[in-house]
């Protein structure tokens, strides 16, 4: 009879690092040592950055249906395989399906595998939650203590998310730009709050930067090396890049790329660098897209131009740096376009274009925990928790806006 032999620790760790999150969650039950190893911050960080943990396309698809006089929304998150074969519709894996929700929006992420999600209700009321699709953990955040002047309205919003894999601490910044309703000229006002998981609370901030008129929604999570970025545009039609340093909690602003005034722009990440995708919104049939990269703060250069020969479309994201995802208006399809080969691949989604409810994410699995130490870590009711959050408004929920001046 052959005796039992224990694997050397470095060999064991190397094997476990190659496994998907679903397997590791089961292997935590093997013994106390494996449990402590897999939960450890060092292992979580190494697993997230391991070469076997490749980025995949995660598609959020929102659809609206009418049941009598009621409007019913459904949400599906579908994960595509690591390799997408040109011309072949890829297989989809459903990560989350919410058949009946009042409202559900991803407002930030993924950052280290985590998403910040939002539910709106009662006009301007908002609830936020943090979600890890791989571990199926969900955590609602407390209300933010905004104090908004009563005569301000029509605001733009930006959300930034940070997670430190080693300290297992995360922060959320929420920026809101409001406009003066009293007709005294264009004087936007900026409000901001930051959430810290260490204290499980929000804190008001005073942004110290010039306010631009519009804030553009990014294509994906524009968080890089501890700083969250967003694209804004002033009355002079010049694009600027706003920033928030999550460590120092300081705001900043720098010059954006030299984009023609009639073009639109959106911020994204490409190969670990900040990038801007710009195009002419007046030419949906023959659009030309320029991709700009920032090589140092405020210094930009154009790396390539794309002119896809496809019918009316709208860009939804990038894949493997230079491939682009478009939604096609005429066919309600989501397609992958390779500018080098001009190959078009149907991704197999039927979109509800009337809702503009499709988002595309570059997603990597993460073991990052979002629960606090005294909260249940069970996975059996994780889907029920997120369904409850998006279907039911808590009775004790307090208003997010404190109105001043009434």
| Regions of the chain short of the pLDDT cut 50 | 1-3, 151, 183, 185, 377-380, 393-406
| DSSP class per residue in 185-252 | ----EEEEEEEETTTTEEEEE---SPPPSEEEPPSS--EETTEEEEEEE-TT--EEEEEEETTTTEEE
Cα–Cα distance measured from residue 323 to residue 169, given in angstroms and rounded to the nearest whole number: 33
3-state secondary structure of 77: strand
Cα–Cα distance measured from residue 215 to residue 96, given in angstroms and rounded to the nearest whole number: 30
In whole angstroms, how far apart are CA 308 and each of 279, 323, 330, 335, 389? 12, 11, 16, 12, 41
pLDDT digits (tens, 9 = 90+) for 175-207: 887 766 554 545 667 788 999 888 889 999 887
Cis peptide bond upstream of 47, omega within 30: no
Helices 41-49 and 9-17: angle between axes, nearest 10 degrees = 50
Cα–Cα distance measured from residue 104 to residue 117, given in angstroms and rounded to the nearest whole number: 7
Sheet of 189-196, strand order: 152-164, 169-180, 189-196, 201-205
Task: Please state the φ and ψ torsions of residue 201, each to the nearest 5 degrees.
Answer: -155, 165
Can you give the length of the chain in residues? Answer: 406
Structure tokens at 185: 């000229």
CA 214 to chain centre: 20
Q: Which residue do the tokens 């260490």 mark?
A: 198
3-state helix, strand and coil shares in percent for the chain, rounded to the nearest 5? 10, 45, 40
The DSSP 8-state label assigned to residue 353 in this structure reads: T
Cα–Cα distance measured from residue 22 to residue 373, given in angstroms and rounded to the nearest whole number: 21
Pairing assessment for the beta strands 93-101 and 105-111 based on DSSP bridges = unpaired
Structure tokens at 6: 């224990």
Cα–Cα distance measured from residue 64 to residue 44, given in angstroms and rounded to the nearest whole number: 38
The burial of 178, by beta-carbon neighbours within 10 Å (0-12 exposed, 13-18 middle, 19 or more buried), is given as buried
Cα–Cα distance measured from residue 241 to residue 254, given in angstroms and rounded to the nearest whole number: 5
CA 229 to chain centre: 13
* Whole-number pLDDT of residue 149: 61
* Whole-number pLDDT of residue 186: 55
* Whole-number pLDDT of residue 3: 43
Nearest by Cα to 188 from 205, 207, 209, 213: 213
């Amino acid at each position: 009879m052959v005796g039992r032999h224990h694997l050397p620790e470095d060999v064991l760790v190397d094997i476990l690092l190659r496994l998907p999150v679903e397997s590791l969650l089961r292997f935590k039950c093997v013994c106390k040592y494996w449990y402590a190893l897999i939960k450890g911050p060092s292992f979580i960080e190494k697993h997230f950055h391991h070469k076997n943990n490749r980025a995949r396309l995660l598609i959020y698809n929102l659809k609206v249906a009418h049941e009598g006089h009621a409007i019913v929304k459904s949400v599906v998150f579908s994960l595509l395989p690591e390799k997408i074969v040109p011309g072949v519709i890829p297989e989809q894996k459903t990560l989350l399906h919410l058949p009946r929700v009042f409202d559900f929006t991803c407002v930030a992420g993924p950052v280290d595998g985590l998403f910040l999600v939002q539910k709106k209700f009662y006009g301007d009321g908002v609830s936020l939650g943090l979600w890890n699709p791989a571990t199926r953990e969900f955590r609602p955040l407390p209300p933010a203590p905004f104090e908004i002047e009563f005569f301000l309205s029509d605001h733009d919003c930006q959300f930034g998310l940070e997670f430190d894999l080693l300290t297992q601490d995360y922060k959320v910044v929420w920026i809101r730009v409001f406009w003066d309703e009293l007709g005294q000229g264009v004087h936007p006002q900026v409000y901001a709050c930051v959430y810290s998981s260490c204290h499980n609370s929000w804190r008001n901030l005073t942004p110290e930067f010039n306010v631009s008129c519009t804030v553009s929604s990014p294509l994906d999570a524009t968080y890089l090396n501890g700083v969250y970025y967003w694209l804004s545009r002033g009355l002079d039609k010049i694009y600027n890049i706003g920033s928030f340093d999550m460590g120092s909690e300081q705001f900043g602003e720098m010059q954006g790329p030299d984009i023609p005034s009639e073009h639109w722009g959106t911020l994204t990440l490409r190969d670990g660098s900040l990038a801007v995708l710009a195009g002419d919104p007046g030419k949906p049939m023959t659009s030309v897209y320029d991709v700009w990269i920032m090589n140092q703060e405020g210094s930009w250069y154009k790396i390539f131009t794309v002119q896809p020969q496809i019918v009316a479309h709208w860009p939804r994201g990038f894949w493997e740096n230079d491939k682009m995802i478009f939604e096609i208006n005429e066919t309600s399809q989501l397609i992958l376009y390779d500018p080098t080969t001009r190959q078009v691949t149907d991704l197999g989604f039927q979109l509800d274009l009337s809702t503009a409810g499709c988002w595309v994410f570059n997603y990597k699995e993460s073991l990052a925990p979002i629960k606090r130490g005294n909260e249940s870590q069970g996975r059996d009711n994780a889907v029920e928790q997120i369904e409850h959050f998006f279907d039911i408004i808590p009775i004790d929920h307090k208003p997010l806006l404190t109105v001043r001046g009434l």
